[in-house]
Amino acid sequence: MSYCLANSNIWKDIFNIDNLNDIINTLKNWFLQCGTYVFNERFRSKCIGFHFDQQILFKYLESWKIKTNNLILFNLNKRKRLKPMKNFNAKLELELIKKGFYDDYIFLRPFKEFHQFKLDIKNIILNS
């Protein structure tokens, strides 16, 4: 999942994890809650609990926010995401990235086809 940034002690507190056994038991518990097959039109696939990870994370973060009043969430409705498109213009997109237009980027595929573009993005980030 994207946009999840915190110190390991924060995650430990959010999920109430103290040891490896807690991790195993928590994952088993989540699996049992996860549900059945769900058809996802966007990805044209069936999978178990397609959005369960996001739902469970939201539940835990909301509880932690109430407990600590220490949570910052992005306004996802205002997010600008670079997405692959039929008439992809790498030069234009790189200029928009330099100007800070995008705040989200999912690597374009296939890797070989967009390899140079990814290197260019890396260089923009390292040189800014």
What would the mean pLDDT of 93-111 be, rounded to a whole number? 74
CA-closest candidate to residue 10, choices 59, 68, 54:
68
Which tokens belong to 38? Answer: 């769900």
Q: How many CB atoms lie within 10 A of CB 122?
A: 10
Give the SS3 label for residue 113: coil
- Whether residue 46 is predicted with pLDDT greater than 70 in this model: the reply is no
Look up the pTM and report it. 0.55
Q: Domain spans of the chain? A: 8-68, 78-126
Which tokens belong to 9? Answer: 């002690």
* Per-residue model confidence (pLDDT) at position 77: 56
* Per-residue model confidence (pLDDT) at position 8: 86
What would the mean pLDDT of 2-13 be, rounded to a whole number? 80
Q: What is the mean pLDDT of the chain?
A: 77
Percentage of residues of the chain with pLDDT beyond 70: 67
* Per-residue model confidence (pLDDT) at position 104: 65
Give the SS3 label for residue 58: helix
Give the range among 25-39, 58-72, 79-93, 101-115 with minimum mean pLDDT.
Answer: 79-93
